[in-house]
A and B are shown apart, each in its own frame.
Chain A
């Protein structure tokens, strides 16, 4: 076993750094909890019949007046906190991963093409990326959200909220992928295997996706991790600002916004437990991203 770990440098480094191991465990627990939410959560918080006002504002079970029925307490509506959080984390993760996936496809596709064709196409694509880079992600996402509000008819707004949010986040994150993919593609273009494939007359798409892409996956993986954290943060921020998800299908950000109302009263759990979940999730993903960067970039060590 130790031999196996030592041979794989990444695993070896992993086994040596406690912070990274803890981060991985925390991330896995939260992600598992979110994925399995419909099966492990005590109740379904979207179901109005599942909670009653009579149970409102109960503290977590280790506090006085807490009951085991609601391990992390309830909010003012009597909703079970742990269920809300698991379902909220689920929504946050779904939007985060979907946005990251769209950003990856868009950015890597454009970056590969820019690196492959070079010349004018590259120049135009990179100018667009520069403009996008000058606009902070949160501003882009807010703008796209605002435009969607203006264009979509009101009755579709609620149904498409998740979609709009995902696209807004994806469109503000694709640049990192495009720039990284382009830079790595440039390096690969001079290698013999690529030139051989081109000279065989293989289709450009085949060269890009079958030959080049597998060789630039490393740096892209790092960006994917870091951007997943950014996407989750962005979604939480938008929901916190009240232009993300509504209160009847809350993500972690919405839960924190609701909890803000209890900042001045004694019901600390309604605000701080979702906050703790969000921060733990993002911090651990970021630590993993930092670790991956070190693995793929030995020079930084």
Chain B
């Protein structure tokens, strides 16, 4: 167990180093930092002095170590575009994206798992066929089109819900949350549904496939023969055994949710990290791009680490294998 956790931790550190290296290469080789920082009036001699002062003439390895050291201390440099510290720009945006992502993930799981179980248990039913057809269409409709359609129906036609921004937020210890106001929740609904729909179809299809697999297994047949009540059979015996892959998709979907939040945030003008990243690409604001990558990778690594630990908690077989 300890060995397993240690191994995963070391792997995570290597992944973070690789991403930091990528961010550093972006910063160092895509465009010249000096030309970005200085205007046209700066003389060549001044530029060279700045280059020397910033240590851009030092050996590559030394520069990378310094870069990583600065990052570990929370110093992420300055944006080319706004001249503000990148760390501040990004941390201000983290709550918006995380809250959006978490609600989207919850929608995906709370609707996707029951729908997956249902379609697996009644594969020939009309409702199941309709759900399956709907998911195929759901996968094919681009996220931004789903967003536009929701805005059109619920924002423009019915004018029930706001269509852009976060609405009212409350600051809880520096964390701007929209969970505490009705206004905030109203603003959250459309973006979260937009982001959740695609993930929902993935969850549903996976749960369905797993459930069908499990229902064919010997122990379910034995339990049926023994006369275990159907509800207990489905939800205790069968569903419990589909939990490992479901945990896996939570880890995988987290990446998808973060990536597609870029699109969703753009459609709804949601002031999160994705919108910031999009702006930084448009203006070739390399430091912001690099730090966004590092922050996303950190979330990714943490979530997958937790997922791996959950495996061990959920599946007793993994624990036994670990001992032997």
| Complex contact A240–B281 (CB within 8 A) | no
Residues on B with C-beta less than 8 A from A149 are 281, 284
Of all chain B residues, which has the CB nearest A131?
B18
**Across the interface, which residues of B come within 8 angstroms of A271, CB to CB?**
148
Residue of A nearest to B301 (CB): A134
Would you give the 0/1 interface string for A73-102, flagging 1 where the beta carbon is closer than 8 Å to chain B?
000000000000000000000000000000
**A200 to nearest B CB, angstroms?**
42
Q: Is A135 an interface residue when CB atoms closer than 8 A count as contact? A: yes
Contact of B255 among A135, A142, A145 (CB under 8 A): A135
Chain B: interface residue total (CB-CB under 8 A): 37
Contact of A279 among B145, B259, B280, B286 (CB under 8 A): B145
B-side contacts of A263, CB under 8 Å = 148, 151-152, 156
**Bound CA span A243–B263, Å:** 12
Query: Does B300 lie at the interface of the complex (its beta carbon under 8 Å from any beta carbon of A)?
Result: yes
Q: How far is the CB of B44 from chain A (nearest CB, A)?
A: 20
A260: CB under 8 A from chain B? yes
Cβ A138 vs Cβ B281 within 8 A: no
Q: A55 interface residue, CB < 8 Å from B?
A: no
Q: Does A160 touch B at the CB level, under 8 Å?
A: no
Q: Which residues of A (116-166) have their CB < 8 Å from a CB of B?
A: 131, 134-139, 142-143, 145-147, 149-151
Contact A283 B141 (CB under 8 A): yes
Check A143–B262 contact: CB distance below 8 A.
no
* A279 close to B260 (CB less than 8 A): no
Name the residue on B nearest A139 (C-beta): B259
B142-A146 in contact (CB<8A): no
Which residues of chain B are near A142, meaning CB under 8 Å?
262, 277-278, 281
A interface, by DSSP: helix, strand, loop or mixed? Answer: helix
CA distance A146 to B289 in the complex (A): 9
A241 contacts B263, C-beta separation under 8 Å: yes
Does B185 sit at the interface, judged by CB under 8 A?
no
Q: Does A237 contact B (CB under 8 A)?
A: yes
Question: For B255, what are the chain A residues with a Cβ–Cβ distance below 8 Å?
Answer: 134-136
A173 interfacial contact with B, CB 8 Å:
no
Do B260 and A136 touch across chains, with their CB atoms under 8 A apart?
yes
Kindly list chain B residues whose C-beta atoms are within 8 Å of the C-beta of A146: 280-281, 284, 289
Write out the residue numbers on chain A whose beta carbons fall within 8 Å of the beta carbon of B289: 143, 146
Contact flags B56-94 to A (C-beta < 8 A → 1, else 0): 000000000000000000000000000000000000000
User: Quick one: given A142-B277, A142-B281, A149-B284, are A278 and B142 in contact (CB under 8 Å)?
Assistant: yes
A19 to B136, CA, bound (A): 12
How far is A243 from B145 in the complex, measured between Cα atoms in Å? 17
B140 at the interface (CB under 8 A from A): yes
Verify B141–A279 contact, CB threshold 8 A. Answer: yes
Quick one: CB contact mask for B290-303 with A, threshold 8 Å, 1 for yes? 00010010001000
CB of A54 closer than 8 Å to a CB of B: no
For A233, list chain B residues within 8 Å (CB): 140, 142
Interface pair B286/A150, CB less than 8 Å apart: yes
Instruction: Collect the chain B residues with CB atoms within 8 Å of residue A256's CB.
Output: 144-145, 148
Smallest Cβ distance from A227 to chain B, in angstroms? Answer: 13
In contact, A147 and B143 (Cβ under 8 angstroms): no
A147 to B25, CA, bound (A): 11
Contact of B140 among A134, A237, A286 (CB under 8 A): A286
A282, chain B: closest CB distance, angstroms: 5
The answer to whether the Cβ of A287 comes within 8 Å of any Cβ in the partner chain is yes
CB atoms of A237 and B281 under 8 A apart: no
CA of A241 to CA of B275, assembled, Å: 10
Contacts of B259 in A (CB 8 A): 135-139
Contact (A134, B281) CB under 8 Å given A139-B262, A263-B148, A286-B140? no
Would you call B281 and A282 a contact (CB within 8 A)? no
A19's nearest neighbour on chain B, judged by CB, is B133
Q: In the bound complex, do residue A275 and residue B145 qualify as a contact, i.e. CB atoms below 8 Å apart?
A: yes
- Shortest CB–CB separation between residue B129 and chain A, in angstroms? 11
Chain A stretch 233-292: residues in CB contact (< 8 A) with chain B: 233, 236-237, 240-243, 256, 260, 263-264, 271, 275, 278-279, 282-283, 285-287, 290
Chain A residues with CB under 8 A of B30: 147, 150-151
Q: What are 23 A-B pairs at a CB distance below 8 A?
A: A135-B259, A136-B260, A138-B260, A142-B262, A142-B278, A146-B284, A147-B30, A149-B284, A150-B26, A233-B140, A237-B143, A237-B144, A240-B263, A241-B266, A243-B278, A243-B281, A275-B145, A275-B148, A278-B142, A279-B140, A279-B142, A283-B141, A286-B139
Known A279-B141, A283-B137; further 11 A-B contacts with Cβ < 8 A: A136-B255, A136-B256, A137-B259, A146-B280, A150-B30, A237-B263, A240-B266, A241-B144, A241-B278, A271-B148, A283-B141
Closest 3 CB pairs of A and B: A136-B259, A150-B30, A146-B281
Interface residues of B, Cβ cutoff 8 Å to A = 18, 26, 30-31, 133, 136-137, 139-145, 148, 151-152, 156, 255-256, 258-260, 262-263, 266, 277-278, 280-282, 284, 286, 289, 293, 296, 300
Instruction: Give A residues with C-beta under 8 Å from B.
Output: 19, 131, 134-139, 142-143, 145-147, 149-151, 229, 233, 236-237, 240-243, 256, 260, 263-264, 271, 275, 278-279, 282-283, 285-287, 290
